[in-house]
A = this chain, B = another copy of it.
């Protein structure tokens, strides 16, 4: 078990394949990236905290995490979920202090790259660098789509949209098993991501499950009718900027 992972970059590799289709030469480089300074954290611990000076680029190797901001009075907004293969803040070392925190939703492992390491590897693999930029632009695009959800979608649309997004993203990195995938979010996480309250998330999930398009519960998400779920969510996958061949 305990033995070390032969292919820790496989989720990122799978994702970049949705962009460039030619990771071939870069696969070793990515696995190399994904092996540096591996750190493990338990659920609830922060990878980085607001106000720190950013020093590393973080690649999530296993587990889920979230980016969030706390308001002074304790309100929390989750800004993004990270799943394996996701990179946090490629260029953030330019800033003096980060304006948000990232914490583990499940036990996680992540690789911490110094800007220098990162530059070396990307200098040696210009195509990879371009792909990583793409990755970063997709992350921005997801951020924008979340604003659409919170600003325009009602409760059931929002929850359905989140389910669609995470399912597609997990599928892309090879972590969906047929029509189902892990789903470790609590209702509080969902509430803080979508700007709702936890009881209302509960009621909304109940209602959503009753449609039969999906079975969403803590731990496991099962998509039973993706087309209908997407329609309900007003989900348009363009914002994920993938190549569409499946």
A interface residue numbers (CB < 8 A to B): 51, 67, 69, 71-73, 75-77, 79, 91-92, 94-97, 99-100, 130, 133-134, 136-137, 140-141, 143-148, 150-152, 192-195, 234, 236, 238-239, 241
Contact = CB atoms under 8 A, between A and B. Distances in A.
A194 to B, nearest CB: 7
A55 to B, nearest CB: 15
Contact of A195 (B51, B150, B192): B150
Contact of A99 (B95, B144, B234): B144
Contacts of A195: 150-152
A137 B92 contact: yes
A116 to B, nearest CB: 15
A234 B94 contact: no
A241 to B, nearest CB: 6
The count of identical subunits is 2
Nearest to A149: B77
A1 to B, nearest CB: 38
Contacts of A94: 130, 133-134, 137
B72 A234 contact: yes
Nearest to A92: B137
A234 B73 contact: yes
14 contacts: A72-B236, A73-B234, A77-B151, A77-B152, A91-B136, A94-B133, A94-B137, A95-B134, A95-B241, A99-B238, A100-B144, A150-B150, A150-B195, A152-B195
Contacts of A137: 91-92, 94-95
B79 A239 contact: no
A32 to B, nearest CB: 23
B152 A147 contact: no
User: A-B pairs with the 5 shortest C-beta distances?
Assistant: A151-B195, A77-B148, A99-B239, A75-B152, A77-B151
Contacts of A133: 91, 94
Given A150-B195, A151-B150, A241-B96, A140 B143 contact: yes
A92 B138 CA distance: 10
Nearest to A19: B94
Contacts of A99: 141, 144-145, 238-239, 241
Contact of A234 (B51, B67, B71, B134): B71
B234 A148 contact: no
Contacts of A147: 77, 79, 143, 146-147, 150
